[in-house]
């Protein structure tokens, strides 16, 4: 699944490294890698932890996930998310995006391929249904970035 069509799409460095790490791992062990990645999800910065209403609920996820992609004054994106401990798959998705999106320019985030969630070789071991959760996070992150850019140009 995916194969040549998605693995050759150029990605920013951090995401490309993550993608390669997954694709270089035998399929049976990719879940374990996703679990390791899930453990790297950074805690929310205090300004969000104290004000969860500033985050957006990711409806596509099966668990209560809240996320925000913020654009700093210098135009760089930071992706923050929280998901419950008992939802490690979702935490893994969020962690991939937190590591992969943070530090990109707003334009780089907007240019990310929408099929990004399919590029980690997880379709069989995690399933398309569950990968919808990551697609939902990415779609929302892009929209949040667009909204912040638009608000600045007004």
Query: Based on CB atoms, which residue is closest to another protein, 108 or 125?
Result: 125
- Answer yes or no whether residue 148 interacts with another protein by CB under 8 A: no
- Asked if 92 contacts 38 with a C-beta cutoff of 8 angstroms, the reply is yes
Binding residue for another protein, selected from 44, 87, 134, 138, defined by CB under 8 A: 87
Please count the helices (runs of H) and the strands (runs of E) in the chain.
8, 3
- Answer yes or no whether residue 53 interacts with another protein by CB under 8 A: no
- Return the range that interacts with another protein (CB under 8 A); candidates 19-27, 40-48, 84-92, 113-121: 84-92
Q: How far is the CB of 91 from another protein (least distance, A)?
A: 8
- Asked if 55 contacts 68 with a C-beta cutoff of 8 angstroms, the reply is yes
- Asked if 67 contacts 143 with a C-beta cutoff of 8 angstroms, the reply is no
- Asked if 42 contacts 50 with a C-beta cutoff of 8 angstroms, the reply is no
- Token pair 């992969």 is found at 100
Q: How far is the CB of 117 from another protein (least distance, A)?
A: 12
Binding residue for another protein, selected from 71, 106, 109, 126, defined by CB under 8 A: 126
By CB under 8 A, the count of residues binding another protein is 26
Binding map of another protein across residues 4-43, x = CB under 8 A, - = no contact: ---------------------------xx-xx--x-----
Strand, helix or coil for residue 85 = coil
Go through 46-64 and write b for each residue having 16 or more CB atoms within 10 A of its CB, e for each that does not: eebeeeeeebbebebbeee
Residues that bind another protein (CB under 8 A): 31-32, 34-35, 38, 59-64, 85-90, 92, 124-127, 129-130, 132-133
């Amino acid at each position: 699944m995916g194969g040549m069509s998605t693995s050759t799409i150029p990605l920013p460095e951090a995401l490309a490294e993550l993608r390669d790490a997954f694709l270089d791992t035998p399929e049976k062990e990719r879940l374990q890698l996703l679990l390791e990645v899930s453990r790297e999800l950074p805690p929310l910065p205090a300004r969000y932890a104290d004000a969860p209403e500033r985050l957006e609920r990711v409806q596509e996820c099966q668990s209560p996930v809240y996320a925000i992609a913020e654009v700093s004054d210098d135009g760089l994106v930071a992706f923050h998310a929280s998901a419950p401990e008992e939802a490690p798959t979702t935490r893994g998705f969020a962690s991939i995006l937190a590591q992969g999106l943070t530090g990109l320019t707003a334009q780089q985030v907007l240019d990310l391929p929408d099929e990004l969630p399919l590029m980690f070789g997880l379709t069989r071991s995690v399933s398309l249904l569950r990968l919808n959760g990551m697609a939902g996070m990415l779609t929302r992150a892009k929209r949040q970035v667009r909204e912040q850019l638009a608000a600045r140009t007004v």
